[in-house]
Structure 1
Amino acid sequence: MKKEIAVKKAGTKEWIGLAIIALPCMLYSMDLTILNLAVPKLSEDLQPTSAQLLWIVDIYGFVIAGLMIPLGALGDRIGRKKLLLIGAAVFGLASVLAAFSNSANSLIASRAILGVAGATLAPSTLSLIRSMFEDPKQRTLAIGVWITSFSIGGAIGPVIGGIILEFYWWGAVFLVAIPIMILLLILGPFLLPEFKDPNPGKMDLISALMSLTAILSAVFGIKMAVTEGLHFQPVFFILLGILIGWLFIRRQQRLDNPFIDLKLFENRKFSTSLSLNLLAAFMLFGMFLFIAQYFQLVMDFSAFEAGLWGISSGIGFIIGALTTQYLTTKFKPVFIMTAGFVLAALGFGLLLFLGGSFDLFFIVSGFTIFSLGIALVFTLVTDAIVGSAPPEQAGLASSMSETSSELGGALGIAILGSIGTLAYKNKMFRSDLQNELNIVDSLGGVIARANQLSADRASDLIVLAKEAFTNGMHWTAGISVILSLTLAFLCLNSLRKVKPI
């Protein structure tokens, strides 16, 4: 009879340590959303060009997406706690620089440094969880808490930003990071364990550069396609990213000490979970884009009101992430993930009823339900990704998990955003008000130009534009329903016979 190996249970120190590393994760997602509310005030103060403003908003996410894998691999070599503490110190200093920036270019540079530091936070914290919580059930709960911290940060970011901007200048939104990072730097050395690969081999800098270039090029091309449409430049950058990615994989196959161990992908649980993670993020971020606009442009909510109602998504994520561990005591993970995709389909399906008298009910309930369902999926696929990788490669696996989310989100915004925009334009340009449109091809643009028309024509045009935007949202929600149900089937079919971690 095979003797079971006893697994060490996490104690009080590990759970307190989890609370400490949850704080920078919350801050990481807050920094992605909190700046959006500050854009009007910083634009008035710094007077950036349209291109500079785009870089102020996007550079943080670009740098994070590109550096996660190289920094995850670096953490496996120098120590995950060390990398986290270095990242926390740099994040705090860069936050001060961003807060007191006196020009658009200095703010762009500060946001880029924040991105470098932010790229250390998610993979370092997740790989530390892999080291701190050896027991699978405890690890599932810990990852649920980890995901919850991101959800809370994303939910409260707009609310806290709105409150801060009521009383202080725009730079104050960056100073929220300072006390959190100081707390991490004080308590982290005592509460967090250090772990690194005992035999890491030499880090291949060429591979690191290729990984960075491939991801940055692809994400930049996708974002350019979203903002400018599909023309030569975005296609060039996307194809360049794919080409460098292919050359990167070929290089890994030849190296004695590859930057990424491609044998990880031979593990069906790892590769399937990584794919499900990307596709779940694809749907989630694609719909986030439309819901945020729907609250403000169709329902006429202020940014602060939209932020408050947007907390419904955070509530769904918190419930889903924190109940996953309990559900695993009753059901197999594959059945929970399948149920998560079915719940997501139900939530997306409720958005098909938007455009009537009960819009607030349908959008809030749909937002909550699909967030809950995808939280179940995220928790379990993240657990599967870090749990199926060897402990010495947990940092790399964690960064690959986060990078797949970033790429999935960028693709979701680009593809679902494009589909919704095409549906919007199709309805608008088939109307008898098409002569009023000229270059206006978005709901925001119509609202901005409405004051140039007579009151009656402006009212008719805005009503039509809102109906067209709702039509575009119906298309993206319908596609998300079909994709969710397809993923539920594939998840059940692909993972049912895979052995648990």
Structure 2
Amino acid sequence: MVADVPADIAAPTPRRAWFGLAVLMLPVLLVSMDVSVLYLAMPRLTHHLHPSGTEALWILDIYGFLLAGLLITMGNLGDRIGRRLLLLGGAAVFGVGSVIAAFAVDPTMLIAARALMGIGGATLLPSSLSLISTMFPNPAARARAIGVWTAAFAGGAAVGPIVGGVLLQHFWWGSVFLVNFPVLVILLAVGPFLLPEHRVTTDAPFDVVGVVLSMAGILPTVYAIKHAAVDGPDLIALITGVVGVAFLIVFVRYEQRAAHPLLDLTLLRSNRFAVAIGSSLIGMMSLAALSYLSSIYLQSVTGREPLDAALLGIPMAVTVFVFSLSAARITEKVGARTGFIAALGAAAVGNLLLLGIGVDGGVWAYMLGSAIAGVGYGIAFSLVSDVAVSSVPPERAGAATGISETSFELGNALGLALLGALASLVFQRGTGPSGEHFDGTLDEVLSAAGDDAGLVHAARASFVDGVHIAVGVGGGLLVLMAIVVAVVLPRNR
């Protein structure tokens, strides 16, 4: 006997849902673009606002701190007050923050605006992804929709530097923020008509203590990781890291006893969900290190302008986009287990191909390796999002996606801190023609070297050695994660 299939799952997906998906892509593109576009704007922004070194770091980091710290909270809040309401409210906050940032007259004003954008951004990702579970009850259609969502997120991160380069070439630095405003106006105008509302009907109290403990744990931990990546593992990184980890331990223990927890730890008992979180964490670690180090390599080692360096990243952007869209069809044929293994393996091969880059050549290795890695990342990240949504009942989708998006943010921070710091350590232990070690960043050493061709070549060679070690470790971690998937997940589909 064949079991009856629920009518909403068996029914074809209405056209309205696909139009709604197109609307959901708008905030996803903006959130992902905003992370990468600011790096290009910093030199011109610094020239006009004159931030101190500490203020410059806060301009860059406050957005990511609040994004990472609030994702779990916002995912749960959307389940309760309404995902569409939270999405549109967050878009308004993001838009206001963007306008303030565009016309900021001093570093403090810009930091405050970036903080507003981080709060708004934290509502957009879990709300948009969890709305997909409501709009697409059919598993196959939902998987394809999540592929589109992932492609938009990855595409925004890749296109961000290109858009930023074009804007900065023709307009003032604030244009990289102001471009968000018309897109958000479109979202606020059409979202109420095309997006359904979904909220959980419950009398259970909201876990306010869990919110406080989660932020008290996540924010210092992320700060410590980022601080260690920039300034090395000093006392500040150690103290904030210990405080953050201590609060995270208290948070986990409290959630285990809470009657209505913010974080449903039982989700991690699912092998599929745990594998998805592990894959996103390791995948983002390797991707963050690859993107950050290759950007420095293309500009400071090969001597390219920022826009030219961004254009060399197009092959990777294309493969991530295409294979995010194709992930649903691939995993329908081979299953999630084989899909994860193949995706992680392709990302590992791509990272290891970067061992072919050098001071006097090897850009081909970057383009080929990053394109192959993009195949793996596109499939893996679509699978992660699909598993996060499909592993829980629709009423818990916001909470589950909050956890998965937090793992992406933590993976990004860990990649920059751990693998970035490893590359920096290898670089600084290199030696110049006179046997001296390098002190500071590659750009600082090159600036001090002046016309000393021997010192310049030695510094660049030492940096390339650091990149080789970092991407080698990243590739190795991806292989280990693929082995974990092969052992943990069953062979059946």
- TM-score > 0.5 by shorter chain: yes
- The answer to whether 1:476 aligns with 2:457 is no
Question: How many angstroms does 1:96 deviate by?
Answer: 0.9
Who is 1:447 aligned against?
A: 446
- Residue type at the aligned position of 2:447: A
- Residue type at the aligned position of 2:212: L
CA distance in 2, matches of 1:74, 1:462: 53
- The answer to whether 1:24 aligns with 2:23 is no
Aligned-pair identity (%)? 37
- Residue type at the aligned position of 1:433: S
Please give the secondary structure, in 2, of the residue aligned with 1:48: coil
- Larger deviation: 480-489 or 220-229? 480-489
CA distance in 1, matches of 2:137, 2:127: 16
Aligned with 1:227 (options 223, 226, 230): 230
- Residue type at the aligned position of 2:5: I
- The answer to whether 1:384 aligns with 2:378 is no
Would you identify which runs of 4 or more consecutive aligned residues in structure 1 move more than 6 Å? none
CA distance in 1, matches of 2:83, 2:463: 45
Q: Is this contact kept in 2: 1:278–1:407, CA < 8 A? A: yes
CA distance in 2, matches of 1:132, 1:207: 29
Equivalent runs, 1:239-254 vs 2, <5 Å: 239-254=242-257
CA distance in 2, matches of 1:150, 1:224: 26
Question: How many angstroms does 1:441 deviate by?
Answer: 3.1
- The answer to whether 1:425 aligns with 2:428 is yes
Who is 1:68 aligned against?
A: 71
Please give the secondary structure, in 2, of the residue aligned with 1:70: helix
Question: How many angstroms does 1:356 deviate by?
Answer: 6.4
- Uncovered stretches (5+) of structure 1, i.e. residues with no partner: none
CA RMSD of aligned residues (A): 1.5
Please give the secondary structure, in 1, of the residue aligned with 2:114: helix
Q: Is this contact kept in 2: 1:77–1:200, CA < 8 A? A: no
Normalising to structure 2: TM-score of the pair? 0.96
- The answer to whether 1:44 aligns with 2:38 is no
Question: How many angstroms does 1:304 deviate by?
Answer: 1.0
Who is 2:354 aligned against?
A: 351
CA distance in 1, matches of 2:421, 2:335: 37
CA distance in 2, matches of 1:50, 1:385: 39
Question: How many angstroms does 1:373 deviate by?
Answer: 0.6
Equivalent runs, 1:92-131 vs 2, <5 Å: 92-131=95-134
Equivalent runs, 1:56-455 vs 2, <5 Å: 56-199=59-202, 201-355=204-358, 358-428=361-431, 431-435=432-436, 440-451=439-450, 455=451
Who is 1:461 aligned against?
A: 455
Q: Is this contact kept in 1: 2:301–2:460, CA < 8 A? A: yes
Please give the secondary structure, in 2, of the residue aligned with 1:330: helix
Q: Is this contact kept in 1: 2:359–2:457, CA < 8 A? A: no
Who is 1:4 aligned against?
A: 4
Normalising to structure 1: TM-score of the pair? 0.95
Structure 1 pair 195–310 and aligned structure 2 pair: CA distance change class (3 A): same
Structure 1 pair 345–187 and aligned structure 2 pair: CA distance change class (3 A): same
Question: How many angstroms does 1:494 deviate by?
Answer: 1.1
CA distance in 1, matches of 2:359, 2:116: 45
CA distance in 1, matches of 2:41, 2:30: 16
- Larger deviation: 251-260 or 46-55? 251-260
CA distance in 1, matches of 2:92, 2:21: 19
Q: Is this contact kept in 2: 1:9–1:133, CA < 8 A? A: no
Q: Is this contact kept in 2: 1:277–1:382, CA < 8 A? A: no
CA distance in 2, matches of 1:106, 1:85: 24
Q: Is this contact kept in 2: 1:9–1:134, CA < 8 A? A: no
1:165-222 deviation line (CA, Å, top 9, x unaligned): 1121111111111111011111111111111111261112121011111110100000
Q: Is this contact kept in 2: 1:76–1:200, CA < 8 A? A: no
- Uncovered stretches (5+) of structure 2, i.e. residues with no partner: none
